[in-house]
Chain A
Amino acid sequence: MSIRRVGAAIGAAGLLISGLAACGGDKTYASVVEKVKDGGTIIVGTKWDQPSLGLKKGNAPEGFDVDVAKAVLKEMNGGKDVDITWKESISANRETFLGNGTVDIIFATYSITEARKQKVTFAGPYVIAHQDVMVRKDDASISQPQQLVGKKICKASGSNSYKRITDPPPDGQLDLDATLVDATNYSECVSKLSGGNLDAVTTDDLILAGFAKQAGGNFKILGQPFTDEKYGIGLKKGDKATCEAVNAAVKKLWDNGTMKQLLTTWFGGIDGLKLSDAAPPAEGCA
């Protein structure tokens, strides 16, 4: 009796699942831009752990990348809102997610690099971040990156930003003899910085600004950038049509002031951070 009942329940659940599966994903599109124009639900990958860029609040993330994603997709759809499903995309799985179609498009502090260009197509850049250094507000001993010699800087697991300080080119940049303090992620770096266990955190200025804002303004950014990180929009390799549509949308958003306004909304008022005023030069979709 009970066995039969369990069997019936499993059968019913199975029917339900197969019914649900039949509902979604029945149409295929040649490119994401087509899917947008057809009113399809777009799966957007963002970071879920970076304050002011992509930080999960409730069911959806919020931040600059999230707002740019919404604005760009809306622009691509001729000014109509697009249905979006958000998906967390950490640094390690961005290429995989685009390649196998888990996400349609990625806005996730995704720097355009030669190595990544082999695997994905980049639209944009939509903004240029710069690697910079963040220190405690009351710390007068560090006013430029070169003064990090002998200082304790953070190495967040899974990020290679520290190399720009400690290693010579081509992998690094400044080749300074700084002491590395390991941390699991940047938010641990920031809490160690405020606790005095290290002297400086270094990575892209927009990421630093987000953490500075979240932690309540006890930090300052030096405002002495030493790299250009061109934040691009990740697309499946070869999706040129979407790339061009995205670039047109990005250009329009810079021209009508939306980008500038979003930057000010999310990063305004951070000590030492300079926000860009003009659109970064487009890279083309080759």
Chain B
Amino acid sequence: MDELFEYAGFLAEGFLENLKLAAICAVASLILGTILAAMRVSPTPVLRGVGTVYVNVLRNTPLTLVLAFSILGLSDQLDLVFSEEPRTNAFWIVALGLSVYTAAFVCEAIRSGINTVPMGQAEAARALGLGFFQSLTLIILPQAFRVVVAPLGSVMIAMVKNTTVAVAGGFAADVAANMREVFDTTGASIPIFLGIVVAFMAVTLPIGFFTGWLARRLAVAR
């Protein structure tokens, strides 16, 4: 137990990095995922094709591989550099990798929501003279989002936990990396494990409760 208190500050510093990553990825992946979902239901075959390939590639690639490619391929080889400071650069590279990965799951959740909107809604929208973009943003997506609040919550919870593999993207200052560094001094410590578990639950449980509550409130009565 002493070890947990002795290194609590250092571990908390790392956990803050996880939270920052999670916050950035939540925003980025929700936006990108929505765009992808729109692409996958669009009437343009090229957009549909691109969206389908994107989702199938990213969703079926292990996250550690996505992150390793982001840092070793994109950043080191292809010179995608966010910052001259290596750690700041790695942070944004991980944020990028995790966002594009999570976006594939967000896209699929939203697309499943779109499928629950009755066909008649889209037809009525078109009968009113709305174009594809208008009917999507004004009629379809608002109804689709209400259905997928809870599944999106699950995607977000998974994303928060996925921030702990940041070291694969060259960012070794998150809570998991700091934990390993502490273990170099203390040896594996169960109190430290449990402390980190509690910290994550303090973040992910409210996400679950909140999205569950929101989903009930927004449920579409049909």
* A residues neighboring B (CB under 8 Å): 91-96, 113, 115-116, 119, 152, 155-160, 179-184, 195, 197-198
Contact = CB atoms under 8 A, between A and B. Distances in A.
B170 to A, nearest CB: 5
A198 B87 CA distance: 12
Given A155-B172, A159-B181, A180 B187 contact: no
A183 B187 contact: no
Contacts of A181: 86-87, 170
Interface of A: prevailing SS: mixed
B86 A152 contact: yes
Contact of A116 (B168, B180, B187): B187
Contact of B188 (A93, A115, A157): A93
A160 B170 CA distance: 16
Contacts of B181: 157-160
A182 B188 contact: no
B183 A184 contact: no
A238 B167 CA distance: 37
Contact of B172 (A91, A119, A183): A183
Given A179-B85, A180-B86, 16 more contacts: A92-B180, A92-B184, A92-B188, A93-B187, A96-B188, A115-B185, A157-B172, A158-B184, A159-B181, A159-B184, A160-B185, A179-B87, A182-B87, A182-B170, A182-B172, A184-B168
Contacts of A115: 185-186
A95 B182 CA distance: 13
Nearest to B3: A115
Interface in B153-171: 167-168, 170-171
A198 B188 CA distance: 30
A165 B169 CA distance: 24
B173 A182 contact: yes
Given A155-B172, A158-B177, A181-B87, A92 B167 contact: no
A152 B183 CA distance: 25
A89 B88 CA distance: 33
B167 A113 contact: no
A91 B184 contact: yes
24 contacts: A92-B184, A92-B187, A94-B187, A95-B187, A95-B188, A113-B185, A119-B187, A152-B86, A157-B172, A157-B181, A158-B177, A158-B180, A158-B184, A159-B181, A180-B87, A181-B86, A181-B87, A182-B87, A182-B167, A182-B170, A183-B172, A184-B168, A195-B76, A198-B86
A182 B185 contact: no
Nearest to B171: A182
A157 B14 CA distance: 13
A199 to B, nearest CB: 11
Nearest to B177: A157
Contacts of A183: 170, 172
Given A93-B188, A157-B177, A182 B183 contact: no
Contacts of A158: 177, 180-181, 183-184
B90 interface: yes
Nearest to A99: B187
Nearest to B167: A157
A179 B184 contact: no
Contacts of B183: 91-92, 158
A159 B85 CA distance: 21
A119 B86 CA distance: 37
- List the 7 shortest-distance A-B pairs measured between CB atoms, nearest first: A95-B187, A182-B172, A92-B183, A158-B180, A181-B86, A157-B172, A92-B188
A184 B90 CA distance: 12
A197 B188 CA distance: 31
B86 A182 contact: yes
Contacts of B180: 92, 157-158
Contacts of B90: 182
A96 B187 contact: yes
Contacts of B86: 152, 179-182, 197-198
A15 to B, nearest CB: 36
A175 to B, nearest CB: 17
A197 B187 CA distance: 31
Interface in B46-95: 76, 85-87, 90
A149 B180 CA distance: 26
B200 to A, nearest CB: 19
Contacts of A157: 167, 172, 177, 180-181
